[in-house]
Amino acid sequence: MISPKKLGIFLVGLGAGYALAKYMSMTPEEKEKLTGDIKEKSKEYFDEIKTKGSEVVKEHFGDVGKKVSDFFGKTENSASNA
């Protein structure tokens, strides 16, 4: 019997092989359009992660910089006097 891990690896490899075969059969124009679409989608995706990520950090941790400064006893005045 095949383990679930090996089956998963096989299915991922099968999907990657299919994607590669599909890509190799595309015309240069289709390849260019695909890469442009991927770049645009990835930019949108990372912008969304950046926005949502900063909101989550602010929501759960508040002003981390101030808390760290307070914890170590550093203030802006003592840093400029050093």
Residue 27: what pLDDT? Answer: 96
Can you read off the two tokens belonging to residue 8?
Answer: 């998963």
Distance CA 56, CA 26 (A): 41
Residue 75: what pLDDT? Answer: 55
Domain boundaries, the chain: 4-81
- The pLDDT tens digits for 50-74 are 888 777 777 767 676 677 777 787 6
Q: State the pLDDT confidence band at 22, using cuts at 50, 70 and 90.
A: very high
* 62: DSSP letter: -
Distance CA 15, CA 24 (A): 14
- Cβ proximity of 26 and 34 under 8 Å: yes
In percent, the amount of the chain with pLDDT more than 70 equals: 83
